[in-house]
Structure 1
Amino acid sequence: MAGDFYLVPLSDVLGAEVRGLDITADLDDLTITRLEEAWADHEILLFRNLELSAEQQVTFSARLGKLSSHTQADYAIPEHPEIFIVSSNVDKNGTPIGATPARMWHSDGQYTATPPAGTLLYGVDIPDEGGDTLFASMIASYDALDIEMKEKIENLQVLHSRIQSYVKLHPPGKDVRNQLTEEEKSSFPDVIHPLVRRHTYSGKKALYLRGNAGQHIIGLDEAESDELLDTLAVFATQDRFIYRHQWRKGDAILWDNRSVSHMGTPYDITKGRRYMHRTTIQDRALNRA
C-alpha cells in the first residue's frame, strides 16, 4: 500500500510531524524509502492520534531495520520482547513497572559496538503534566562549532562503558532496580566510538556526546577529557538546537540515534501514569547480516 504523506515542521532546527500516513497499514517499499529520507532529513518524526498495538509497533519498526531487545528483560513485553517498557511509575508494592527515562543527555545504545539507528517511542499513557522529552540535533550543533574546535575533535575517540554507566544511574543500595548480573556484565565489554560520527545514511557529521555511557577521551588525562566533553555538551544542548516534545496520548516519535541526543524530564508519579512502549532499530549499515 502506498502512503501519500506530508510533513509539518516541529521547530526551526529539527523534527517534523508526519500527516496522512497510516503506519499500521502494509506500506510499500517506496513509501518506506521516502519515510527514511524524511527521517534522516528531519532527525525526528512525530506520528499522532495512534492506537498502536504492540504487534503493530513491532511490524512497523521492523520495516526500518532489524530490531534489538533490551538487556533489561524484566521490562520487556513477554509476547513481544522487542518492546521495552519505559516508565517511572511503580506498582502497589513499590516495584518499578518500567525503566526510568534517563534524566541526562544521551543517545540510545552508546555502550554497544554497533549503536542503533533509531528508536520508536509510543505513548500508551501520558500524565497531564510533565514527562516531556527534549531532543537536540547533533548535526546542527556540530555545524555551528568554530573551525578550531572542529579540527581539535575530528579524530578523537571516547571510551563508553555499559557497566560503569549503569552503576552511576542506579547506585547499589540507593536504587530499587536490580543490578546487572555477571552474565549481563560479560555481554557488554567497554567500546570505543568517535567523538564525531558520520551519519550512515546522510553522510553528515554529528557530535557523539558522552551521554550516560561515555567515560573519557582516549589519550587525554581525566581533567582535560572532562573539560572538553562538558564544554561540547553545554554547547550542543543550547536552546537553539533543541525541540521539546510535550506528549499526548497516542503520540509516537521516531528519532535518529545517529544524529540526535535526547533527555527525559521529571513528572509527579502520584498525579499520573507515564507508560511508553519502545522499539530499538538497528543500523542497516552496521548490521548487514
Structure 2
Amino acid sequence: MAEPLGAKTMPKFAIKPLTPTIGAVIEGCDLAQRLDDEQLAEIRGALLKHQVIFFEGQQMSPVQHRDFAARFGALHTHPLYPGVPEAPELFILDNHKDNPTDNDSWHTDVTFIETPPMASILYAKHLPPSGGDTIWSNMKAAYEALSPTFREFLSGLDAVHDFARGFPQRGIVAKGAGEDRHAKALAEHPPVLHPVIRTHPETGEDGLFVNFGFTDRIKGLRRKESDAILNMLFEHIQKPEFLVRWRWSENAVAFWDNRVTQHYAVNDYLPHRRIMNRATVLGDRPYHRSRMPAGVRAAAE
C-alpha cells in the first residue's frame, strides 16, 4: 500500500551490540527531541535485550535529560547527592582530587528502597583526558552460570539492603551532604528485604539481585554463612564473560536496566575531573517467581 501523501516515516535506529552478553550502541537517535511512542518502544526493547545501551554525541539540556527519563517512569530524587539546579530530579557526580569518587565498587543503584530503580540514565558532561570508564555486569548471565542446585537454594532466600552500608556516616558522600542531611536520609531509609534471585518484571527471566554496595546479609543465615555466600557472589559477578567496559566520550549517554545489572566506576583518573549528570527511573518491588505478588500473578495467568 502506498504511503499517504505527507506522511513521514521515522528512520529505524541502528543498534550495534558490543559483546554477545551485554551492551549495545544505538545510532541515529537524538535524545533532545521528543521521541514518539514507537521510538520509545524500540529503545525499551533494546534495553531489555542488551541490559545497557549507549548513545554518543548527544546535546541535551538538563530539562531535556529529565524529560527523556520521565518517559519511562517516575523519577527518584537522591537523598544525598546535589541536584542539578535546572532539573533537581537529576543529580551531579562531580569527582576530582578534592572530592574523590565513592562509586568504585560494584553496585546496583538505590537498592536500599522498597521499589529500587528500573533504570538509570547517565550523561557525560566533563571527562578526564583518559580513564574514568564504567563497567557493567549482566546479572542474568551471572545467575545462569551458577549450578542448578545452588540456584534453587538461593531462590528461596531474601537479603537485607542497607542505606548505611552504601553511605556510611564517615563516607565521602555523607560528608559532602552534611551531618543533618545524612541523619535525615538515614532515618528515612531503614534496611529493606529483597529476594536474592529476582524475576525480571518485563522479561520474566531470573537474575542475581545482591550487590556489594548495599547488600549487608542474607536473612535466616548465620553471619559467617551469609558472608561466605555473598562474598562468593560478589566475586562471581566480575567474570569477564558477563561484562562490558565503556570508554566515555563527552556528551555520551548510558541507559541501563538496573533490575538486571551491576556497575563499577573505574577510579583511575584523579587528580583530573569527571562530571556526570544522572536521572534515575523508579521501578517495582522486586520479587521471585516462587513468591510472585498477587497482582503480577493474575496478570501472568
The normalised TM-score by structure 2 is 0.86
Structure 1: 5+ residue stretches without partners: none
1:13 to 11, 16, 21: 21
Runs of 4+ in 1 over 6 A off after TM superposition: none
Q: 1:169 to 1:65 in 2, by over 3 A?
A: farther
| Aligned 8 A contact 1:87 1:101 in 2 | no
Q: CA shift at 1:278, angstroms?
A: 0.3
Q: CA shift at 1:45, angstroms?
A: 0.6
Structure 2: 5+ residue stretches without partners: 1-7, 287-294, 296-301
Q: CA RMSD in A?
A: 2.3
Q: 1:232 to 1:151 in 2, by over 3 A?
A: same
In structure 1, the partner of 2:282 is 282
The normalised TM-score by structure 1 is 0.89
Question: How far apart, in 2, do the equivalents of 1:63 and 1:113 lie?
Answer: 22
In structure 1, the partner of 2:205 is 204
User: 2:135 is aligned with what amino acid?
Assistant: L
Q: 1:56 to 1:176 in 2, by over 3 A?
A: closer
Question: How far apart, in 1, do the equivalents of 2:170 and 2:138 lie?
Answer: 24
Question: How far apart, in 2, do the equivalents of 1:225 and 1:142 lie?
Answer: 17
In structure 2, the partner of 1:82 is 89
Question: How far apart, in 2, do the equivalents of 1:204 and 1:107 lie?
Answer: 17
User: 1:277 is aligned with what amino acid?
Assistant: N
**Number of residue pairs matched by the alignment:** 278
Comparing 207-216 with 99-108, greater Cα deviation is found at: 99-108
Question: How far apart, in 1, do the equivalents of 2:214 and 2:30 lie?
Answer: 36
Say if 2:190 is the partner of 1:189: yes
Q: 1:181 to 1:72 in 2, by over 3 A?
A: closer
Q: 1:124 to 1:171 in 2, by over 3 A?
A: closer
Alignment partner of 1:167: what SS? Answer: coil
Question: How far apart, in 2, do the equivalents of 1:172 and 1:63 lie?
Answer: 29
In structure 1, the partner of 2:159 is 158
Q: 1:172 to 1:279 in 2, by over 3 A?
A: closer
| Aligned 8 A contact 1:3 1:22 in 2 | no
Q: Percent identity?
A: 28
Question: How far apart, in 1, do the equivalents of 2:83 and 2:193 lie?
Answer: 28
| Aligned 8 A contact 2:32 2:61 in 1 | no
